[in-house]
Chains A and B, each alone.
Chain A
């Protein structure tokens, strides 16, 4: 549920801005032309202080540069259009590397040994010495494992600590090509997965090979860019909705090729990725939006945007590359503008990095001060609650930890803290509980003993009888019978008219009320719904409408198929049939307040039992009320289901027609206003 929620956040973020932030806008003191966002509660992103302010804009003589690499605070730019490598140091060009072997450098990586260049037009990888001389040209490897037909079209290149070269080859669906320094093909690495639906499997069974080739290009998307961190982990970004649905837009690949990165907030157009020493991940997409994630894939900041008609410092038209400098500043390369833009880290973002770094090292209590500062700066900064919760947990302040974990939406953490807190309670109060229970038992025993003439118990009995003699209470009492002897109960409903409209309607209302108590009574561990986003009509309607639809359809179907039940009987019988749910759901909801995740099965099993029980009783109800055979009942249920489906379809079609009509009429009115 949480995952879906977060994914929705991305899609909905733009739309929800209105709801969440439309009220007002903050005039920040900063010069940034964009808002900065961070992960907020409930899967939404929220505004925060500027994390990076646009700094210096650098324009060297670059022609459509497509990549750069920062090495020892020098920027090595692949000046693609000019077919050269330009090295910038302190905003000065200190070196230009050219070679007749180099035509269109599109990717670049640098380590202590060499400068690695992916040359797209020449279809090769070039290794330059640091003095600028060409060391080696690597053409398409001859190994069979590469695949003879495979195109070798390097667009980006990366290199790990062992000197292995990773080539992003255009249209390579098998993953990155791992090549040794000598130019030997070592194998493919970290291929993206594909998405195979049930429909595709069916089609593959029946279609000819030709048709399959034509229909599906069910090949995984090839990565767009690559980065390598200080631990030797490989990061790739992949574009496209397919990659997004597979959670592969950003991947962090271990040596064995497993993906260690998962995030809910994504872009489908990432163009480059970078990693800093604290494993924070920075990515930029084609819209010029920057995404910063922490080691765990939590969104830390998102900011930036596309420069459309104006040229504003800090906005980009065609982002090509991103990297992070030692001091925490970001730099981005804009291909069309041919500029490098520096984004200066603010004190606030630096504090967030410090907090993350301490947290990553497990120094939770040490990080508490920093996170308190961050929490002061932005109370909606979700991860601050996680960190503060962890710190409070370490301090054994479980109550506080629970509060923080609840804000952080960390159910597991909350449950753990609650477990400890419950333990504390039991330890402190076990004596009292035993004493109270003992006293109650003692009192009732004494009363029983003293009440030899049964004065009290007869009186109690009398009161009980006078209450049950009230008509409606009597009607409710049949629920007890339904649980114990359903056939007898249905007999009374059918032949003795035992229950009436009123009591049944009250039970329908109670069913609705149970949905609401589910929000308020059920503990946080078992229900994380935020009341603010709940529409009471949809909530109650989503349960009551299908049930009522069933009642109506069942009645209609049954009258044609020789069912004997009257509408009133179907109406009353249906709601009485789900008595187990009506009776025991609330106690179950209350029970959740003393349960942790460890005992979650108690709740889920309880719900399962109630639902199954109700379903069986519902089946029996249909059989008894309409006087069907076993087969007849099954048939009746299936036909009812089909009828329900058709009815919904009809309503939906009518709705569509009416909206069309509405638009049409409005258009005419608009036209008339314009013409007249």
Chain B
């Protein structure tokens, strides 16, 4: 009763306040109105008032000339103790709060997990202040389902720490019975932070369940628009959030690395309905904070527990005044348990903790490395060190052209189904010959639907051929003939989604969600997601069968972009186990091309198809950067999405040049309209006769530019002027691409509108 009164009292006060404010405002207005001209007037436009913010974040912006000062942080916070030192850095930490600071010896610059010092920080409430000051912050869920934030400083946790070798180790225990042991080590690049699985404990009978952990969330954060820097977000091909300008967004960026777990029922409803394109994934477990462009910055690599990490970025003005980016580690996730056929559900949290270690590695960047290219370099070094990436040998001087053919598809007839033949083996022979006569010799052919089930009736364990489009013998002969001429032929396959009615899998191979519901899309399910174990086994089996007819290349869809847990008791897999399983795939002599894979499969991929070329375009982003391309060019072959679907042929081609992507087309011999009433009707244009001229001319354009940088890696990506970009390669050649409608010239080089130029570096 008392409580109720209190609330209504508050409400009354609020209403009265609002009323007073409204009255004041309106009387002010009236006063203004009567003071000035009686009829109407033009408001004087004063400086700063009526400011218009415009934003276009689909391309990379030019780094602004910074007129303000560049703050140089060189102060150590109060209570810091020295923990370790090496040639480059000194690590300090606060034994009470576990806040850390690292001094770069060469410059004296201080990287800090506490952006500002003091008991109270302006613009932050108690919890946020606690989060900034604490090294470790937990999110706990009470029995009623309410999740609250527990920084170690504000919730009276006890901290025991010892300095050990090259860093320190600390044990934090919250009075409610949850504890975390964290290790911080100084390396020659920066620092490594880790929390092993066993380093987290929960007392039995604890009222709370541990949901997630933040470690040093405000590392290298800064306030307001005082610094000319940006946060790097690994969304899609890469995005930036510039800190020097006012941000348009009112929502922070939050996205789980490698996408949400559909095994926990986390489907995107709107996308399922087919209206909106799915937003981009986070393909790589990397983020960065550039405090001052080309001066100071930080690259953060999530080395362990990446599949349970969620990237969060806040720009100044969203909730707080600070710009900060961090990873939140999901120890448990809340999900909706379906209770009845009619769809009622309850919110529950996972019972078991997700089994993973946390590993977070900071690389400090300075000088020319303090930008997104530097972050890419840092991550690439890490991947090379791990053995996941190696320089790829250039296959030739010409760039490859990917042609994806629909061979056949099944169509429902009045009775049963019939085969729709789209490209027979003879027709493919003619098309390839025709293109080779045009001088295109480096061709990657991907075949969809050579089997009796057509292009969508995957039957992974049955390796057969539809005699209407070509027998096994005919295909073998064709493949032999063209592989001898350097044309690589591969089969398209998908072992992750099983189409309804397709053969080759049984009920036990179907994945189930944590509510024991089949993972299907659209209510009645066009296809169902399969268990990770099945995916891997079927891939191995298929690779063996394909090798039997001389094909050792497979184009595998979905494997690289879906990572989910499977709760089917006949094949339980957590997300972490699934990732481990995929990483461990070993195929003898088989080349795998993967469609938009996540980072953990880079080691497996010989080529990447459908390379992302955009970010999700959230308001919070200010730029899109070709981060993945900078990271991988010269290491893994990358192909753009089908050129058939380009709505702006010219400018989309220039974008592929900037991003270093090889051309690709979807083709059929027959008219595409034949596919209309089949499951492949997503393909709305593909007829070779219509597309031949475009293929020849667009390939020639791409080849002229990109063949000059074959085998080279990208060393720099610089915006010279709005819509004019210079991409520098390791062989000394630069591509200058002008996306704008006006010619560009800077005295040394000039590029026509909507065109590109090859330049020597130094020009």
Contacts and interface: CB of A to CB of B under 8 A. Distances in A.
A128 B41 CA distance: 11
Interface string A23-63: 11111111111110000110000111111011111111100
Given A20-B681, A533-B677, A666-B341, A348 B411 contact: no
A670 B339 contact: yes
A673 interface: yes
Contacts of B41: 98-99, 132-133
A58 B596 contact: no
Contacts of A380: 672-673, 676, 681, 684
A435 interface: no
Interface in A231-280: none
A25 B51 CA distance: 41
Contacts of B34: 100
B672 A379 contact: yes
Contact of A532 (B51, B411, B521): B411
B671 to A, nearest CB: 6
Interface stretch (A155-163, A307-315, A425-433, A649-657): A307-315
Interface stretch (A87-95, A202-210, A451-459, A602-610): A87-95
B641 interface: yes
B676 A99 contact: no
Q: Closest 3 interchain pairs by CB?
A: A17-B274, A22-B526, A532-B677
Contact of B680 (A23, A84, A663): A23
Contacts of A131: 42
A24 B682 contact: yes
Nearest to A377: B685
B88 interface: no
B685 A31 contact: no
B616 A14 contact: no
Contacts of B337: 674
A150 B427 CA distance: 73
A116 to B, nearest CB: 14
Contact of B273 (A17, A53, A674): A17
Interface string B651-694: 01001100000000000000111001111111111010011000
Give the contact-size bracket for chain B: 35 or more
Contacts of A289: 275
Given A33-B616, A312-B279, A377-B685, A22 B647 contact: no
A30 B647 contact: yes
17 contacts: A14-B275, A24-B683, A29-B656, A30-B647, A33-B276, A33-B279, A58-B54, A84-B43, A93-B52, A100-B40, A289-B275, A379-B687, A516-B414, A532-B411, A532-B676, A533-B677, A534-B414
B649 A347 contact: yes
A376 interface: yes
Interface of B: 29-30, 33-34, 38-43, 45, 49-58, 248-251, 270, 273-279, 337-342, 411-415, 455-456, 499, 516, 521-522, 524, 526-527, 596, 610, 612-614, 616-620, 624, 640-650, 652, 655-656, 671-673, 676-685, 687, 690-691
Nearest to B277: A33
Nearest to A32: B277
Interface string A468-510: 0000000000000000000000000000000000000000000
A98 B43 contact: yes
Given A33-B276, A34-B275, A28 B682 contact: no
A121 to B, nearest CB: 12
Q: Is the interface of A mostly helix, strand, loop or mixed?
A: mixed
A47 B684 contact: yes
A384 B230 CA distance: 47
Contacts of B53: 58-59
Contact of B275 (A49, A51, A305, A666): A305
A134 interface: yes
B417 to A, nearest CB: 11
B642 A530 contact: no
A61 B45 CA distance: 13
B677 A29 contact: no
Nearest to A61: B50
A96 interface: yes
Contacts of B647: 28, 30, 49-51, 53, 346-349
A674 B340 CA distance: 11
Nearest to B619: A311
Give the contact-size bracket for chain A: 35 or more
A133 B144 CA distance: 61
Contacts of B645: 26, 28-29, 49
A311 B618 contact: yes
A97 interface: yes
Nearest to B595: A27
Contacts of A28: 277, 641, 645-647
Nearest to A378: B684
B339 A674 contact: yes
B641 A26 contact: yes
Contacts of A94: 45
Nearest to B409: A23
Given A22-B521, A29-B643, A50-B647, 9 more contacts: A17-B274, A23-B456, A29-B646, A46-B681, A58-B54, A96-B43, A98-B41, A376-B685, A666-B341
A407 interface: yes
A95 B40 CA distance: 13
B673 A407 contact: yes
Nearest to A94: B45
A289 B276 CA distance: 10
A10 B458 CA distance: 31
Contact of A311 (B56, B249, B278): B249
Interface of A: 14, 17-35, 40-41, 46-51, 53-61, 83-84, 86, 88, 91-101, 128, 131-134, 289, 305-306, 308-315, 339, 346-349, 376-380, 407, 516, 519, 530-534, 536, 663, 666-667, 670-671, 673-674
Given A305-B270, A667-B340, A26 B682 contact: yes
Contacts of B683: 24, 26
A20 B678 CA distance: 7
Given A133-B40, A347-B650, A666-B341, A55 B56 contact: yes
Contacts of A100: 30, 33-34, 38, 40
Contacts of B690: 376
A58 B672 CA distance: 40
B646 A49 contact: yes
B743 to A, nearest CB: 20
A99 B39 contact: yes
Contacts of A40: 676
Contacts of B646: 28-29, 49
B279 A310 contact: yes
B110 to A, nearest CB: 34
Contacts of B649: 347
A34 B277 contact: yes
Contact of B620 (A311, A348, A530): A311
Given A50-B647, A670-B339, A23 B681 contact: yes
Contact of A95 (B42, B270, B617): B42
Contacts of A97: 40, 42-43
A670 B683 CA distance: 39
B618 A310 contact: yes
B276 A379 contact: no
Contact of A25 (B30, B524, B612, B682): B682
Contacts of A666: 341
A35 B275 contact: yes
A573 B642 CA distance: 63
A98 to B, nearest CB: 6
B278 to A, nearest CB: 8
Nearest to A663: B341
Contacts of A51: 647
Contacts of B624: 31
A79 B377 CA distance: 48
A23 B526 contact: yes
Nearest to A20: B681
Nearest to B50: A93
Nearest to B344: A667
